[in-house]
Amino acid sequence: MRRYETKAEQMGYRQVAGVDEAGRGPLAGPVVAAAVVLPSSARLDGLTDSKKLSAAMRDAFFARIQEEALGIGIGIVEHDVIDEINILQASRLVMKHAVEKLPQPPDLLLIDGIHTIDRAEEQWTLVEGDQKSQSIAAASVLAKVTRDRLMQAYHKRYPEYGFDRHKGYPTASHKEQIRRHGACPIHRKTFRGVKT
């Protein structure tokens, strides 16, 4: 999980940030991204793609990553912006915001997926990067846990939709609640399953 970070360090990069997002697929809520710079000594055994970890494991890694990281940036792009610019552009924008919030500018970005972002730093895109890079996996966990907690808070405001369970993803029960109650203010109005 550190081969890309090790290669980068051997090439002279000193501030290597892993970048990932959570929330492209849901019908409601924001898309969230994290950028994480870990020290070369970090050994987060068992860390992988956040979707492959239990909620308890994600919470445990969330705390450990915050303790060990040299820098963390979190970006949030809300549902109305997603509707305005589309989810792909919102995902690229939210990752840019996360990088901008790092305490020190990185000199290399390791980005999950195939798309670069609008930043001047060197960027390496890695398909399934959250299963190949410790830094990206750390970003995956921070983004997922942050977004899940936001959706838990939205559940208190809109309890009839069950956001505490499905976090806005298009489950059968979520779609049924949309049919029954209509869209709420945090639904992505341009997404199939929400728009009427």
Residues 146-196: pLDDT tens digits? 999 999 999 999 999 999 999 999 999 999 999 999 999 999 999 998 975
Which domains occur in the chain, in start order? 3-181 (3.30.420.10)
Residues 100-122: pLDDT tens digits? 999 999 999 999 999 999 999 99
- Mean pLDDT for the stretch of residues 79-104: 98
**What is the pairing mode between strands 122-126 and 108-112?**
parallel
- Mean pLDDT for the stretch of residues 68-74: 97
Q: In the prediction, which pLDDT does 92 show?
A: 98
Q: How far apart are CA 60 and CA 19, in angstroms?
A: 19
Q: How far apart are CA 32 and CA 113, in angstroms?
A: 15
Question: pLDDT averaged over the chain?
Answer: 96
Q: In the prediction, which pLDDT does 195 show?
A: 76
Alpha-helical regions (H) of the chain:
3-10, 55-68, 79-85, 87-100, 134-157, 163-166, 172-181
Among 24, 23, 26, residue whose Cα is nearest residue 178: 26
